[in-house]
């Protein structure tokens, strides 16, 4: 299976440095421009047999437009959502430290296993994604997956046989694409690039 992993374009949550995991956030003006370039390139420059999408609109809008143009039905999978940051959702870093000091400190002590109140632990989030991947990684063809930075980090570490903590070796840019070929129980990353460069 060949995977094309695409991160959504810029949103208000990104520019405001908010923990907008499962929170819906709108595209910025730059994000709307990125959307046009990104979708056009995915439609015209890449070939795939299936499209999977996070249910969160900042990713799903991209998948739907590409799917309509390619005449491919988009399969929405909740496993491809970003991590649910629970009580941290939609707050800025500095706000969380002040409002939820105790939870913030516990999370920083063990960010892999600590479950944020009303949200996920990283290990739970990662496990949902890996179960989804294991159900399809041995199939033939190519799949476009439109999702989020944290989701793509988990996909990369799993398909490349790395530890969950190795996710921080990968920076996935907004409107970025990662290409991975998985065959014979071995994953190889062939490409990582931004598809929609917009000058400030």
Q: What are the sequence ranges of the domains in the chain?
A: 2-91+125-194
Q: Which CATH class is domain 2-91+125-194?
A: alpha beta
Structure tokens of 26?
Answer: 């709108």
Average pLDDT over residues 154-172: 97
In tens, the pLDDT along 184-195 reads: 999 999 999 999
In tens, the pLDDT along 87-125 reads 999 999 999 999 999 999 999 999 999 999 999 999 999
DSSP state letters, 12-46: HHHHTTB--SSS---B-HHHHHHHHHHHHHHHHH-
pLDDT-derived band of residue 39, with 50, 70 and 90 as boundaries? very high
Q: Is it the case that residue 37 has pLDDT exceeding 60? A: yes
Average pLDDT over residues 18-40: 97
Cα 92 to chain center, whole Å? Answer: 20
The pLDDT confidence band at residue 198, using thresholds 50, 70 and 90, is: confident
Three-state secondary structure call for residue 186: strand
Q: For residue 197, what pLDDT band results from cuts at 50, 70 and 90?
A: confident
**CA atoms lying within 13 Å on the CB side of residue 51:** 25
Average predicted confidence (pLDDT) for the chain: 97
- How far apart are the C-alpha atoms of 134 and 106, rounded to whole Å? 31
Whole-number pLDDT of residue 199: 59
Residue 200 has pLDDT above 60, yes or no: no
Q: How far apart are CA 193 and CA 171, in angstroms?
A: 10
Which residue(s) pair with 189 in the sheet? 180
Q: Residue 48: pLDDT above 90?
A: yes
Closest residue by Cα to residue 177 from 140, 150, 147: 147
Residue 12 CB partners (closer than 8 Å, separation 6+)? 18, 25, 26, 27, 28
Please, is 42 exposed, middle or buried when counting C-beta atoms within 10 Å of its C-beta (0-12, 13-18, 19+)?
buried
- pLDDT tens for 131-154 read 999 999 999 999 999 999 999 999
């Amino acid at each position: 299976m060949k995977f094309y992993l695409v991160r959504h374009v810029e949103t208000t949550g990104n520019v405001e440095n908010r923990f907008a995991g499962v929170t819906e956030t709108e595209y910025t003006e730059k994000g709307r421009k990125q959307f046009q370039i990104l979708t056009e390139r995915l439609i015209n420059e890449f070939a795939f047999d299936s499209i999977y999408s996070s249910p969160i609109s900042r990713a799903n809008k991209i998948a739907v437009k590409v799917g309509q143009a390619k005449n491919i039905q988009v399969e929405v999978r909740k496993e491809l959502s970003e991590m649910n940051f629970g009580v941290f959702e939609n707050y800025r870093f500095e706000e969380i430290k002040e409002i939820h000091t105790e939870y913030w400190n516990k999370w920083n002590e063990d960010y892999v296993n600590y479950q944020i109140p009303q949200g996920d632990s990283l290990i739970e989030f990662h496990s949902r994604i890996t179960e989804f991947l294991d159900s399809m990684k041995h199939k033939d063809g190519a799949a476009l997956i439109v999702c989020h930075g944290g989701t793509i980090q988990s996909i990369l570490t799993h398909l490349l046989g790395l530890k969950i903590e190795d996710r921080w070796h990968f920076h996935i840019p907004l409107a970025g694409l990662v290409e991975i070929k998985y065959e014979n129980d071995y994953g190889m990353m062939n490409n990582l690039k931004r598809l929609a460069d917009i000058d400030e």
